[in-house]
Structure 1
Amino acid sequence: MMKAALCLATALITTPVWAQPASPALDAALARTPNTGGAKNIILFIGDGMGINSVTAGRIMAGQARGQDGASYRLTFETLPYSAFSKTYSADKFVTDSANGISAITTGVKTINGAIGVDATVASKACAPIASRIPTIAEQAKRMGKAAGVVTTSGVTDATPAGAYGHTSTRGWRSDSELPADAAKAGCIDLARQLVEAPDAIRMNVVLGGDLARFQTTATGGRRIDKDLTRIWAAQSKAQVVTSKTALTAVDPKTTSKLLGLFAEGDLPSVVDHKNQTEVPSLADMTSKAIEVLSQDPDGFFLLVESAAIDKWHHQNNAYRALTDVDELDKAVQVALAKTNAKDTLIIVTADHSHGLTQSAGSTREEPIMGLARNRGVNEPDKNGKGRTVLSYASGPSALEPHDHDLTQDEVLRPDFKQPTLVPLSSAQHTGEDVPVYASGPQAYLISGTVESTFLYEVMNYAISLK
């Protein structure tokens, strides 16, 4: 028996590599030719908080949901031909927040945590001087005659979407009711007003997401004190304001060049809960309509698309909803690939920062990623003999309500289950590891190795300037 095994091992070692058939992946890599042209269009996808552990666990969950082997499943954005890792630290912290995270990518300049569209000379909670403001890639696209837009599952004045149009030292100044009196007196302008009242030369053409309350006054159920910004938007030529999935679907891109869609008072609900929210569009729905409208501009467009729910549910230690939105982001990428031409559209998929999600050993591959660690149906318990989950978090609120009983498979597979965590906090913190980047289209080949988050701006700026 030992002699036979030795002979087999020797045969495996001595089989020449050149005699083995090439894999489809190798064939594709060998046939790959860098696109060195200019970009007519740029679509930047942000999976907020989507670190590499979120990609891995999200991939497995998406594959298993389709009845496939999750470990070998590939998300669509993982098939893009070029990839890298991005360093996400801010000007003042090892671990960035979403404000600096997106600002570094859209302006090419790292700033302090909490600031957007400005350099690092600003002080938090102070009006950003004109000299500190940095043009965003979206504003540059507009000045070049292109259209620009933002799609998000958060409120449209949240940090990441504001990275396309906002300039502020303090991300929380989203409406006039959230702007301190001394800041207003000093001339600071809230992000909702910045979005709607920007000069036409840099104003976004399409904005889709949540935050209706931050655009309407208290008289109509909103939270603004000064004026109804939806009316100001609607007063533009060829403009529409929509608040439902039905209305969004009905928008004719040939007659609408300025589209504001606000589908919730604040953030959009998780797609897991859409069965009870039938008039809330999915991220793919919004991405599709945004591309249809923006594509009417013959000069091209810039579009920022964010899955905010990945981050927001990670903050709550709810991996089920967070990882469901990794798949939702992937569906939006599929829409973008289908509706654009790879020859003239640069697509980048990345994250602004990571989260403290971990995937522990124990489970065999047929077991659900959301479940307990099990070896072919038999629990792989912790040292106390209790069931343990495959996924867990470094910090967050679920540690404040410890799982002091023996967890069951049925319990941990429920969408509302919160994975165990180590450090008790009211909200899980971001983490500082590098995040993945995936790219295709003009100049995408420049994205490789380990890069600064600001380098992504440089690639976009270079690609759009060539065209």
Structure 2
Amino acid sequence: MKRFSVLLTMMTLTSWPVAVHAEPMMTAAADTAFREGQRSLDAALRRTPNTGKAKNIILFIGDGMGINSVTAGRILAGQTRGLDGASYSLSFDAFPYTALSKTYAADALVTDSANGISAITTGFKTINGAIGVNGKVRPKDCATGLANRVSNIAEQAKRKGLSTGVVTTSALTDATPAGFYGHIASRDWQADTDMPAEVTKAGCTDLARQLVEAPDNVRLDVALGGGAAKFLPKAVGSAGARGDNRDLTKLWRTQTPAAKFVTTAKGLNAVETKNTNSLLGIFAPSHLPSVIDHDKFPDTPSLAEMTSKAIEVLSKNPKGYVLLVESASIDKWHHRNNAYRALTDVDELSKAVAVAVDKSDPAETLIIVTADHSHALAMSGYAAREADILGLARQKGVNQLDKTGKPRTILSYASGPGEQDHEHELTQAEAVGPDFLQPALVPLSSAAHGGEDVPVYAYGPQAHLISGTVESSYIYHVMAYALSLSED
């Protein structure tokens, strides 16, 4: 992690000279926050934007990672390490340029992941549920999907000779990773058995086939994640979901020289990158389990491990690479109102970003960290600074009570399955448990996304263009400009 340590040192220590400031009062001079503010100002004054072109781009998506997820995730990460959570910093907190991204869809105030990633990777906002098409598409309509395809940043980069890849903790056919290769009117069409007969007859192809059967000049070089069922025939047994009797993993291995296919963390670690030009890794039948549960699934790679291997393979290309890395578990567990696992994955994203910084050259690699949408997680009340972020709101060991006289949690959701039994009095032990569901105001089987702006963090060439309040589609234009790509 040498390069990451150097980055943090540059941003937080050595770039800040000893400066003389007018200190309004002794108490302020002794306050850590006051001195940190002085140092941050010195760093900002000395900051020089990198206006060169990027050779590589690494786009990190914290799926569902709104501002409250970042804040609560940061606190949990610090507390897990025995530190003060409020003042702790995630790896991307050190990035010098930030913005807010407006995530709405062409047809909705609140976006889903399909439009969310499409806007970022193509520059076009589309309707919820559609991927890699413009806003003229109609929901689940094959013909308009085929007629309104738009190319994405990965395809454009690949045509220019760069290498491309996707890393995710979701199924590889899920909405966000599909944003780097898919063009479809419905994100649900992940295997042939997911598609109505009339859709197949109309000429639409499922996302698993789109990933593997893409033409050589746009096909991804690396794809690591879950979702094996969508690539395997039903004849394989419970592991397979395809009805066309195709084993797409075999096709991957045969259509590209020096291609590798792995299914375990051990197999991934054993891949010799110097002898690998094409790497497919599928580590679960569906989405990957939370890192909290890796003791039950010990051969599951972490997001950081997958990111590291992907960069090793892609960086062999002297022309550069474009990589999408998604921490999907933030969103998956927010949908269940399980803040413990959702926020743990914010830390997992932070670890993967640190790996990417360490394994790339800051002079030539643009790294962007953002979200496709938010989740309606609330962090409210006046709990003590040292209170466990996952637990009950407390001050000096005394529970803060709601109007019925019951203890309340620091975190809650606007909607979801966490409807509370108001007759039951919560305990701290319950609230901090890994399987606890935070309270939800509106009972739903799955929590709805939040519609507020999401943060964007950037570092590297052209990172200074990430500034202000922007459309989510603007992020595409920054990446295309940084790589000197022209629109198709």
| TM-score computed with the length of structure 1 as normaliser | 0.95
2:181 counterpart (149, 165, 176): 165
- Range moving further from structure 2, 28-37 or 120-129: 120-129
Mapped partners of 1:44, 1:76: distance in 2: 15
Deviation string for 1:408-429 (max 9, x for gaps)? 0001010000000100111000
2:239 is equivalent to residue 224 of structure 1: no
Partner of 1:175: 191
Mapped partners of 1:29, 1:62: distance in 2: 26
Shift of 1:25: 1.6
Q: Which amino acid aligns with 1:418?
A: L
2:446 is equivalent to residue 431 of structure 1: no
Shift of 1:131: 3.9
Partner of 2:164: 148
Identity %, equivalent residues: 64
Whether the aligned pair in 2 keeps the contact of 1:83 and 1:436 (CA below 8 Å) is yes
1:95 counterpart (91, 103, 110): 110
- Range moving further from structure 2, 27-36 or 420-429: 27-36
Whether the aligned pair in 1 keeps the contact of 2:138 and 2:145 (CA below 8 Å) is no
Partner of 2:96: 81
User: Residue 398 of structure 1: SS of its match in structure 2?
Assistant: coil
Whether the aligned pair in 2 keeps the contact of 1:402 and 1:420 (CA below 8 Å) is no
Mapped partners of 1:67, 1:382: distance in 2: 29
1:43 counterpart (49, 58, 62): 58
Mapped partners of 1:460, 1:147: distance in 2: 15
- Alignment RMSD: 1.8
Shift of 1:129: 4.7
Mapped partners of 2:439, 2:269: distance in 1: 40
Partner of 1:410: 429
Mapped partners of 2:68, 2:319: distance in 1: 38
- Report the CA distance shift for 1:404/1:455 in structure 2 as closer, same or farther (over 3 A): same
Mapped partners of 1:257, 1:288: distance in 2: 15
Q: Which amino acid aligns with 1:32?
A: R
User: Residue 137 of structure 2: SS of its match in structure 1?
Assistant: coil
- Report the CA distance shift for 1:12/1:159 in structure 2 as closer, same or farther (over 3 A): same
Partner of 1:255: 275
Mapped partners of 2:424, 2:169: distance in 1: 35
Whether the aligned pair in 2 keeps the contact of 1:39 and 1:466 (CA below 8 Å) is no
User: Residue 99 of structure 1: SS of its match in structure 2?
Assistant: helix
Deviation string for 1:292-321 (max 9, x for gaps)? 000011110000000000001000000000
Deviation string for 1:254-300 (max 9, x for gaps)? 11111000000000000000011111000001000000000011110
Q: Which amino acid aligns with 1:205?
A: D
Question: Unaligned 5+ residue runs, structure 1?
Answer: 1-8
User: Residue 183 of structure 1: SS of its match in structure 2?
Assistant: helix
2:410 counterpart (374, 383, 390): 390
Partner of 2:325: 305
2:377 is equivalent to residue 361 of structure 1: no
Residue correspondence of structure 1 range 60-459 to structure 2 within 5 A = 60-127=75-142, 128-221=144-237, 222-226=240-244, 227-235=246-254, 236-399=256-419, 402-459=421-478
Mapped partners of 2:24, 2:164: distance in 1: 60
- Report the CA distance shift for 1:124/1:11 in structure 2 as closer, same or farther (over 3 A): closer
Whether the aligned pair in 2 keeps the contact of 1:86 and 1:434 (CA below 8 Å) is yes
- Range moving further from structure 2, 331-340 or 124-133: 124-133
Q: Which amino acid aligns with 2:432?
A: L
Shift of 1:240: 0.8
Partner of 1:5: none
Shift of 1:31: 1.6
Whether the aligned pair in 2 keeps the contact of 1:38 and 1:466 (CA below 8 Å) is no
Q: Which amino acid aligns with 1:172?
A: D
> How many equivalent residue pairs?
455
Partner of 2:483: 464
Deviation string for 1:118-175 (max 9, x for gaps)? 0011111111454411100010110010000000000000000000000001000000
Shift of 1:13: 11
Mapped partners of 1:217, 1:129: distance in 2: 26
- Range moving further from structure 2, 152-161 or 214-223: 214-223
Whether the aligned pair in 2 keeps the contact of 1:119 and 1:133 (CA below 8 Å) is yes
Partner of 2:15: none
Deviation string for 1:375-412 (max 9, x for gaps)? 0211111111111000000000112x535311000010
Mapped partners of 1:247, 1:21: distance in 2: 45
Deviation string for 1:195-218 (max 9, x for gaps)? 000000000000000011110101
Mapped partners of 2:263, 2:478: distance in 1: 35
| TM-score computed with the length of structure 2 as normaliser | 0.91
- Report the CA distance shift for 1:70/1:135 in structure 2 as closer, same or farther (over 3 A): same
- Range moving further from structure 2, 19-28 or 59-68: 19-28
Partner of 1:6: none
Mapped partners of 2:305, 2:123: distance in 1: 30
Mapped partners of 1:217, 1:248: distance in 2: 23
Partner of 1:54: 69
Shift of 1:10: 8.7
Partner of 2:18: none
Whether the aligned pair in 2 keeps the contact of 1:397 and 1:425 (CA below 8 Å) is yes
User: Residue 473 of structure 2: SS of its match in structure 1?
Assistant: helix
Shift of 1:27: 2.2
Q: Which amino acid aligns with 1:51?
A: G
User: Residue 362 of structure 2: SS of its match in structure 1?
Assistant: coil
- Report the CA distance shift for 1:321/1:21 in structure 2 as closer, same or farther (over 3 A): closer
Deviation string for 1:44-75 (max 9, x for gaps)? 00000000000000000000011111111111
Question: Unaligned 5+ residue runs, structure 2?
Answer: 1-22
Whether the aligned pair in 2 keeps the contact of 1:92 and 1:112 (CA below 8 Å) is yes
